[in-house]
Amino acid sequence: MHQPLIPFLLRLGDSAMVQGQRLCEWCGHAPALEEELALMNVGLDLVGQARNWLEYAAELADDGRDADHLVFRRDQRDYRNLLLVEQPNGDFAVTMLKQFLYDAWHFQVLEHLSQSLDPRIQGIAAKALKEVTYHLRRSSEWIERLGDGTEESHQRMLAAIPQVWRFTVELLDSDALEQGLFEAGIIGDPQAIAAAWQQQVAATFASATLPLPPAASPFYLDSRRGVHSEHLGLLLAEMQFLPRAYPDATW
């Protein structure tokens, strides 16, 4: 199962890494000091999780690359992160909506992976699940607070939904690789994960007095094939500049 497992690990690691990078862009710009610290802490959690997934992928590939190489030396078309996480932060409403939609999916994925027949995956997922449980609680509370808060916060949430909702199509879809890993007992049932995600999102939107859009439809972008939006290239250019400019530098 090594060969099909590697791209799946890249999906997990890349998504966590890119979402962590997006959150760290809020450093010095968050609406309150407490929120800045919280956003940075969640971002650092995700970077740590990304390292664990990518280190495992590098070990399985056994081609001389390590986790740092996978993060800083791959081009946009080689990344396999969810389209959702690469979208710009926007205002605080957009950021928290993106975070919640990702957290609700991430929690379900990790909960199933913590029962994996692969002991390495099981251990990484169990540790990450403790962190993501907090991430989901925090982001869902913010969705409710903003959606059912002031008139301005409600309007900002209404404006945020169409900006990011279409990218949730990947959270509900699966491919032959994931089906094969599920049948082998390595990952959870993609359909069960999708159903649980939909239930969580519907319940939170209802509490936040927000309308639940219909399920997003597939379109030409597809992160599983490395076909990303224009935003990922700009994010990677900033994130990868120093390691590429000084490849031999050490701390």
Cα separation, 149 vs 155, in Å, equals 10
Q: What is the pLDDT of residue 61?
A: 95
Residue 235 lies in a domain: yes
pLDDT surpasses 80 at 240: yes
pLDDT surpasses 70 at 2: no
pLDDT surpasses 80 at 33: yes
pLDDT (tens digit, 9 = 90+) per residue, 35-82? 889 999 999 999 999 999 999 999 999 999 999 999 999 999 999 999
Lowest mean pLDDT among 17-31, 93-107, 121-135, 138-152: 17-31
- What integer is the mean pLDDT of 147-172? 97
Residue 80 lies in a domain: yes
- Where does the pLDDT of residue 30 fall: very low under 50, low under 70, confident under 90, or very high at 90 and above? confident
To which residue do tokens 């993060």 refer?
71
To which residue do tokens 């056994």 refer?
62
Residues 184 and 117: beta-carbon distance below 8 Å: yes
- The candidate with the shortest Cα–Cα distance to 148, out of 220, 239, 211, 104, is 211
The CATH number of residue 194's host domain is 1.20.1260.10
- What integer is the mean pLDDT of 186-195? 97
Q: What is the pLDDT of residue 249?
A: 81
Q: CA of 27: how far to CAs of 99, 151, 170, 192, 231, in Å?
A: 16, 27, 28, 36, 19
Q: Tell me the average pLDDT of the chain.
A: 96
Cα separation, 107 vs 111, in Å, equals 6
Q: How many domains does the chain have?
A: 1
pLDDT surpasses 80 at 251: no
Instruction: Take residue 80 and report the two structure tokens written for it.
Output: 């396999």
Q: What is the CA radius of gyration of the chain?
A: 18
**N-term to C-term CA, the chain:** 36
Residue 251 lies in a domain: no
pTM reported for the whole predicted model: 0.96
Residue 250 lies in a domain: no
pLDDT surpasses 60 at 1: no
- The candidate with the shortest Cα–Cα distance to 26, out of 77, 81, 99, is 99
- What integer is the mean pLDDT of 2-8? 89
What's the domain range around 119? 2-245
CB-based contacts of 60, cutoff 8 Å, min separation 6 = 2, 5, 6, 9
CB-based contacts of 105, cutoff 8 Å, min separation 6 = 171, 193, 197
Q: Nearest 10 degrees: CA dihedral of 108, 114, 115, 119?
A: 150
Count other Cβ atoms within 10 Å, centred on residue 14.
Answer: 26
pLDDT surpasses 90 at 3: no
pLDDT (tens digit, 9 = 90+) per residue, 215-234? 999 999 999 999 999 999 99
CA angle, 16 then 19 then 227, to 5°: 85
- 3 state DSSP class of 32: coil
- What integer is the mean pLDDT of 123-131? 98
- Where does the pLDDT of residue 20 fall: very low under 50, low under 70, confident under 90, or very high at 90 and above? very high
- Where does the pLDDT of residue 250 fall: very low under 50, low under 70, confident under 90, or very high at 90 and above? confident
Residue 223 lies in a domain: yes
